């Protein structure tokens, strides 16, 4: 029995939630990023000579504060070993932590960082120091926290100037804490949700998380934890500012039965194995892909045990799908560089990037729905390939299946399946240019106008009034996908298999030879191949 993706997602999903998942942030001191700023800071603190010995003193003082904090609060200190999974250690300590809020444990690890170094120099009898930022292996302090608002997370502080910070939080865990505060029962699914008695309220809570709550978390714990700079320095303008390092935006759809989730992946993998190519990625991420766009464009199907996952990449960002806890479909967009979406890494851009992630997840699911539900009836095919006449008497010539220009046209249309603002003449011509030889010279403006007219008259596209933009109609989506898939998966391989000079053995070619041989036997048996005797 064929797998129907639309039916599985519309009739067999018991909970559908969109939420930010893991959020990784960088913390930096804007006024302590250059050697000149460091010299100014030291002189303000009463050190006229910016000696590197002062750096060590600052580091030693910070470490002493950490040890004193751990002793006063009976907090264990763990020295991470190379190759250890910090998350596994954190989960073990968190399980034994019975307080509502506090520091679960403190971890120490030696990791690479960009820190200030100083070199002594002598010029004309005067001694001075040359300061610069260079990579170095230095100690980092991990504060693993259980927070009343965010649940588990950690803050990592580098022990060397300029004391960069990293913050790790989880949007699902924040939502769980809010549900607990409001007394709404729910069932967890790892770092997600398996069920909730009030799904609408849960979605409202997930929508509420933003920069304000994150800044409040960071300020609250910066005031409670031992910190490398004093309160006086922070008040003087040497406080940390947060920026986005990485964020995950997820959509979790819980199936009523595990077998329906497995059926979904069977259908998706079969129908979308080529979705990771540039034309597919441009649709999913709503970004134009050119020859200069960095990254590899492919679909990766990863099997871990019996649970597959799909991975698609755009520059340094990724969208993936996997079967979570053998119960839910998790569609997840990971944004590793906000600049790929034309915004900087400032925390205030978090809502915009969350919107980008949600739309990417939705487009992926929409593409997967359309890719399967694109079958046409015989009348539907004839309506496309044969000349037609509209109700008001306007004639539209046929779009002949197999014609190179027509097939490139349908393939280009698939680039705009879910483009919210449609496409323009320029978009269409550039898409055709990538598919045709000498695209701009072989696909002339007159041909483009002719193609747009017959697409419009056949109901495949719709022109936005008073603009030069076009949108694909629902019928046009099915037509473009149907003809593109038929050409790529049936006729292309079929004609290649029948090529007698093709040295590569193909199963379809062998099947055709078997058919020819059997037909020859029938003809010989009926003596149809011999000339009939004269009477």
What are the sequence ranges of the domains in the chain? 30-162+209-239, 384-494
pLDDT at position 364, please?
80
User: What pLDDT is attached to residue 120?
Assistant: 75
Please tell me the predicted confidence (pLDDT) of residue 411: 86
Q: What is the β-pairing status of strands 126-147 and 102-123?
A: antiparallel
Q: What is the pLDDT of residues 485-519, one digit of tens each?
A: 777 766 665 555 555 555 444 555 565 566 667 66
Secondary structure (H, E, C), 182-206: HCCCEEEECCEEEEECCHHHHHHHH
Q: pTM of the entire structure?
A: 0.69
Closest by Cα among 80, 137, 140, 132 to 112: 137
For domain 384-494, give the fold.
Answer: Arc Repressor Mutant, subunit A (1.10.10)
* Dist CA 435 CA 415 (whole Å): 12
Backbone phi, psi, residue 240, to 5° = -80, 145
At a CB cut-off of 8 Å and minimum separation 6, what does 46 contact?
none
pLDDT digits (tens, 9 = 90+) for 27-64: 999 999 998 999 899 888 888 877 888 888 999 999 99
Residues of the chain with pLDDT under 70: 1-4, 124-125, 127-128, 266-267, 269-307, 370-379, 417-421, 437-441, 489-516, 518-535
3-state secondary structure string across 243-262? EEEEEEEEEEEEECCHHHHH
Query: 385 - beta bridge partners?
Result: none
CA-to-CA distance for 47 and 271, rounded, in angstroms? Answer: 67
Q: What's the confidence (pLDDT) of residue 531?
A: 47
DSSP state for residue 292 in the 8-state scheme? T
Query: Contact, 272 vs 310, CB < 8 A?
Result: yes
């Amino acid at each position: 029995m064929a797998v129907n993706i639309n039916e599985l997602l519309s009739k067999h999903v018991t909970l559908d939630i969109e939420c930010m998942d893991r959020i990784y942030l960088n913390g930096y001191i804007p006024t302590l990023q250059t050697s000149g700023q460091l010299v100014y800071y030291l002189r303000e603190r009463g050190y006229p000579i910016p000696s590197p010995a002062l750096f060590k003193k600052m580091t030693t003082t910070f470490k002493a504060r950490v040890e004193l904090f751990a002793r006063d609060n009976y907090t264990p200190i763990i020295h991470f070993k190379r190759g250890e999974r910090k998350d596994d250690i954190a989960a073990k300590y968190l399980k034994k932590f019975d307080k509502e809020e506090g520091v679960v444990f403190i971890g120490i690890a030696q990791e690479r960082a960009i820190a200030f170094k100083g070199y002594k120099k002598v010029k004309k009898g005067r001694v001075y120091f040359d300061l610069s930022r260079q990579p170095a292996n230095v100690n980092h302090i991990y504060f693993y926290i259980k927070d009343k608002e965010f649940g588990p997370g950690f803050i990592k502080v580098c022990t060397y100037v300029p004391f960069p910070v990293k913050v790790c939080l989880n949007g699902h865990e924040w939502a769980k804490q809010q549900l607990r505060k409001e007394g709404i029962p729910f069932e967890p699914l790892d770092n997600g949700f398996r069920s909730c008695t009030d799904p609408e309220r849960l979605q409202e809570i997930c929508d509420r998380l933003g920069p304000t709550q994150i800044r409040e978390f960071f300020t609250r714990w910066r005031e409670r934890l031992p910190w490398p700079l004093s309160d006086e320095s922070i008040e003087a303008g040497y406080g940390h500012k947060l920026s986005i390092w990485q964020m995950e935006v997820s959509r979790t759809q819980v199936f009523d039965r595990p077998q329906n989730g497995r059926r979904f992946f069977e259908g998706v993998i079969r129908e979308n194995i080529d979705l990771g190519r540039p034309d597919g990625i441009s649709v999913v991420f709503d970004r134009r892909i050119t020859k200069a766009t960095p990254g590899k464009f492919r679909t990766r199907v990863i099997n871990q045990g019996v649970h597959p996952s799909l991975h698609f990449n755009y520059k340094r960002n990724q969208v993936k799908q996997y079967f979570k806890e053998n119960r839910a479909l998790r569609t997840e967009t990971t944004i590793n560089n906000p600049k790929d979406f034309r915004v900087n890494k400032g925390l205030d851009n978090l809502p915009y990037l969350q919107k980008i992630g949600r739309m990417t997840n939705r487009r992926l699911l929409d593409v997967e729905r359309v890719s399967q539900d694109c079958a046409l009836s015989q009348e539907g095919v004839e309506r496309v390939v044969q000349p037609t006449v509209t109700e008001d008497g306007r004639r539209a010539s046929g779009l002949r299946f197999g014609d190179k220009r027509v097939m490139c046209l349908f393939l280009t249309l698939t680039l705009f399946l879910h483009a919210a603002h449609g496409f323009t003449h320029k978009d269409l011509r550039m898409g055709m240019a990538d598919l045709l030889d000498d695209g701009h010279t072989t696909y002339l403006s007159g041909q483009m106008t002719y193609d747009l007219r017959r697409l419009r008259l056949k109901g495949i596209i719709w022109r936005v009034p008073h603009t030069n933009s076009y949108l694909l109609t629902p019928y046009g989506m099915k037509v473009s996908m149907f003809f593109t898939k038929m050409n790529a998966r049936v006729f292309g391989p079929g004609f290649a298999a029948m090529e007698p000079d093709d040295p590569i053995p193909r199963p379809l070619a062998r099947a055709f030879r078997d058919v020819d041989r059997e037909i020859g036997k029938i003809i010989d048996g009926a003596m149809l191949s011999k000339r009939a005797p004269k009477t």
